[in-house]
Amino acid sequence: MAEQTTSLPDVDLVWGGFGSRDHPVVLLIAGQCQSMTWWDAEFCRRLAAQGRYVVRYDHRDTGCSTTWPAGHPAYSERELTTDPVGLLDAIGADRAHLVGLSAGGGIAQELALSQPHRVTTLTLMDTSPLTSAARGALPPPEPAVLASFADPVPPPDWLDRDAVIDHRVAIERPYAGTGGLDEERYRRLATEEVDRSADMEATLTNHPLAEGWSPGGTAEDITAPTLVLHGSADPLFPLAHGEALRDAIPGARLVVLEGGGHQQPPPAMWDLTIGELAAHTS
């Protein structure tokens, strides 16, 4: 995969595609503070082998895309949401199958509401309804995650590469599923991210500070065919959040990833996940 850069009016987005451009586009939208690295390249290759053009990209303020000074993002959630549209325009894709994880699932829902003509199908992974009748009744994060919010891992010396890698792994640990964190794999992915990122401090700081935005509408208003993939052990958005998405979005289907946490599917779940994605995007 050769990385490419698309220049939009206020940001350069770096992205990479797997497979043939002649195939339907599957756009992978990572979570908050995640670069495209967390969509494992081998996962992308296997999905592309199903006859899809799989695209992953660095959100603004992550990876090699444009960054702003840490603590001072000069954009809102609206720009994070519309960036994928500019990327699709650059690729020459009128529509795409959107796959969003966590906050990326929020972006995917916002696009399905605000620009439904650009969304062929929707896949929502380990996320929650933006707004719906059920939203207020959903369970909170598990105690370990709440504790990480109250007492976060201290920031590293951002000039110390090894310390930053250690930090990147440490902050993912509370989100693991029943099997615990795959230390070797997460360290590999964290190392890839740190080594190719322009500013890891900005990556891990700025997204939560961006001003909120809502396109209007609720999950019940989404018309795109929707697949919900949700870890049974997701500690941030317990399974009831995935069930709420299934119940809110007309015709949505839920597939539970047994033992899965709040994370891109680990290799042990790739056969199931890729099979479901291939069927849903056919």
- Could you give the CA distance from residue 183 to residue 180 in angstroms, rounded to a whole number? 9
Residue 26, both tokens:
């599957």
What average pLDDT score do residues 230-237 get?
Answer: 98
What average pLDDT score do residues 214-239 get?
Answer: 95
Exactly one of 59, 97, 167, 262 is catalytic; name it: 262
H/E run at residue 279: helix 270-280
To the query of whether residue 262 is one of the catalytic residues in this protein, the response is yes
**What integer pLDDT is reported at residue 216 of this predicted model?**
86
Exactly one of 65, 102, 148, 197 is catalytic; name it: 102
- Could you give the CA distance from residue 77 to residue 87 in angstroms, rounded to a whole number? 16
Half-sphere exposure of 235 (CA within 13 A, CB side): 19
For the chain, the average pLDDT equals 96
- Could you give the CA distance from residue 210 to residue 195 in angstroms, rounded to a whole number? 25
- Could you give the CA distance from residue 167 to residue 163 in angstroms, rounded to a whole number? 6
Percent of the chain with pLDDT over 70: 99
To the query of whether residue 83 is one of the catalytic residues in this protein, the response is no
Domains in the chain, CATH or no CATH each: 4-140+198-280 (3.40.50.1820)
Structure confidence by residue, pLDDT tens digits, 192-223 = 999 999 999 999 999 999 998 888 899 999 99
Structure confidence by residue, pLDDT tens digits, 168-189 = 999 999 999 998 999 999 999 9
Give the type of residue at 200.
M
To the query of whether residue 207 is one of the catalytic residues in this protein, the response is no
CA angle 37, 42, 45 (to 5 degrees): 110
Exactly one of 61, 83, 126, 234 is catalytic; name it: 234
Q: Which of 261, 265, 269, 268 is nearest to 174 (CA)?
A: 261
